[in-house]
Amino acid sequence: MDNFLLGVSIFLSVLAILSLYRAIFGPTDMDRIIGVGAVGTKTLVILILMGFIYKRVDMFIDIALLYAIINFIGGLLFARFFMRKGVL
């Protein structure tokens, strides 16, 4: 089972790197934002998987929840920041 979880987290890392392509080369600013957001979703799952692999789920779960909150607030703030002269 541990090997399965490890494989899943490696696969997710590959997906995160693929999403990073849009974050770097995205034609518009908004593409970059959702690229970063997509990397964030994969990182969230990887954090919990790491908790299972290191047998410290109760510890990593707090970090994952914090990561989810930061991702949420970051997305909203970036969306608001890149929309000039407007109210979100």
- The site for other proteins (CB under 8 A) is made up of 1, 4, 8, 11-12, 15, 18-19, 21-22, 28, 30-31, 33-35, 37-38, 41-42, 44-45, 48-49, 52, 57-59, 61-66, 68-73, 75-84, 86-88
The H helix count followed by the E strand count for the chain is: 3, 0
Give the shortest CB-44-to-other proteins separation in angstroms. Answer: 7
Give the shortest CB-35-to-other proteins separation in angstroms. Answer: 8
Give the shortest CB-16-to-other proteins separation in angstroms. Answer: 9
Q: Are 79 and 33 contacting, i.e. CB atoms less than 8 angstroms apart?
A: yes
Cα 73 to Cα 79: distance, rounded to the nearest angstrom:
10
Structure token pair of residue 44: 């969230």
Cα 79 to Cα 88: distance, rounded to the nearest angstrom:
8
